[in-house]
Structure 1
């Protein structure tokens, strides 16, 4: 009887031991799975956060680069006033890297009456720059303003022929012929101011020619 009781006790002990071991193993496995999932989730969150931060840094960098590029572009822009004997005079918005030669080309180029000798085509453009291309005959008058002209005496504009007119600084063959044509079509000049009605004679030119002509 005592032996049976001992066997019964041993059976209960071994059964509880087995269940205890199984329970412990189950707890350990559950713990391993939990911590593994938690670690993976943390890594994913960190990866997502890093990706978001990287995108933000990249976006900020692009914005900064675009701003710098825009400011650089604006700082390279200059406004140039092109006047005189060019085909399309006016104010032009240009790059400061260009030269006077480029500006004149953009303004249509020189007219046939332009004096190119007084223009520095190699000069770099600056903001608020004025490029004045003078008339070829106006330049002659200007450069010889202290000279009495090719003739020592004043010439009557109403009787002068082409040779006499071209002897005056500032009047070439073309302008001499224009004076004669105007005189033939409209009669004698009543005053030298009538020269302003002839193509190619502006106020500045007429004032200087008064030193050499009379009516």
Structure 2
């Protein structure tokens, strides 16, 4: 009986020392959902850009400029001062006003709805298109930007008046640019 009990204990010990086997998922995803989502977003962006180009084509009196960052703009008030060549760079503090409307021109946030804002270039939260657009401006200029939704408020909108995936137009007036070193010195003096 002792031999039989010993054999059972040994058999259990041998069987229990077996290395663990990998468990495989019941269903495997091939990543097709992500591929479909990417394709859907590309189509949506292409449709928005085509629509913006159509609206620009209807307004032949305005000279639109295409930005390297994927949006369009025109000058309402361009600086003619040949000495005024400075545009904001990383860390500079800019003071600006802006209004937002639909691509067709219907006001979403009219002039005066948003207070004058001070913004440290690329150091604070601001929607992508406006952040990139401010870097193109000089003091005293007013520029109207046409942003596809992915450069504006994207899928989530602004949680107030701008809905999901809405292209927008933003009219921006840049009042001042304070260089990073200058703004740091003023802060220390105060």
Shared fold (TM-score, shorter chain, > 0.5): no
Question: What is the TM-score normalised by the length of structure 1?
Answer: 0.27
User: TM-score scaled to structure 2, two decimals?
Assistant: 0.29
Structure holding more helix per residue: 1
Larger radius of gyration: 1
